[in-house]
């Protein structure tokens, strides 16, 4: 377990260093109401990440605190619930659309909200280099026409949809 934790810390550090370079080509939404954004989100689709390998029924729950947003990522892995807590810090002058997420001190990764439904029923999150991608929904299932519309926008924004994988949410639908 200790060896795994050291590997995770090193990998998060490498990821954070790689994703720190800014890019003007990927835009975020103009404004996010953090209190409306808070709550439970279901991962509908994502670029596979090493830290989610073998996970299904992935969720993220955001809780607004005084100086940060608490992040609770959870999934089912090997038929067992797994979770990790972190903190997200809003980037100044970003309209709350850019955050720095930290699961292991001192490493932080970019969390950019690049698309968001007017009613906050779904969101799309990435990073400036398009290395990560998450399609999130307030429900474990998303209408196919909404998903198709989102993926169409992602294609126009230069995302490689061949890397996008739908997330199994079958246990959350019971």
CATH of the domain at 39: 2.40.128.20
75 token code pair = 């999934």
3-state secondary structure of 12: helix
Q: Which residue has the tokens 């490493």?
A: 107
Mean pLDDT of the region 143-156 = 97
* Domain enclosing residue 146, as ranges: 2-19+26-173
**111 bridge partner residues:** 99
Q: Closest Cα partner for 133 from 171, 166, 103, 108?
A: 166
pTM for the predicted model, two decimal places: 0.84
Among 10-14, 28-32, 68-72, 149-153, whose mean pLDDT is lowest?
A: 10-14
Domain total of the chain: 1
At residue 12, does pLDDT exceed 90? Answer: no
| CB 77, CB 55: distance < 8 Å | yes
For 48, other C-beta atoms within 10 Å of its C-beta total 14
Mean pLDDT of the region 41-53 = 93
Among 17-31, 111-125, 126-140, whose mean pLDDT is lowest?
A: 17-31
């Amino acid at each position: 377990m200790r060896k795994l934790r050291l590997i995770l810390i090193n990998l998060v550090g490498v990821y954070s260093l790689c994703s720190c370079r800014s890019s003007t080509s990927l835009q975020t939404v103009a404004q996010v109401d953090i209190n409306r954004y808070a709550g439970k989100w279901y991962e509908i689709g994502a670029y596979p990440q090493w830290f989610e390998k073998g996970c299904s029924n992935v969720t993220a729950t955001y809780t607004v605190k005084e100086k940060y947003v608490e992040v609770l990522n959870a999934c089912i892995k090997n038929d067992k619930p797994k979770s990790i807590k972190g903190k997200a810090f809003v980037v100044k002058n970003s309209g709350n659309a850019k955050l720095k997420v930290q699961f292991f001190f001192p490493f932080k990764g970019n969390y950019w909200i690049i698309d968001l439904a007017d009613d906050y029923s779904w969101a799309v999150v990435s990073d400036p280099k398009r290395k990560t991608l998450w399609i999130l929904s307030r429900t474990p299932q998303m209408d196919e026409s909404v998903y198709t519309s989102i993926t169409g926008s992602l294609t126009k924004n230069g995302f490689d949809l061949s890397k996008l994988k739908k997330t199994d949410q079958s246990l959350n639908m019971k």
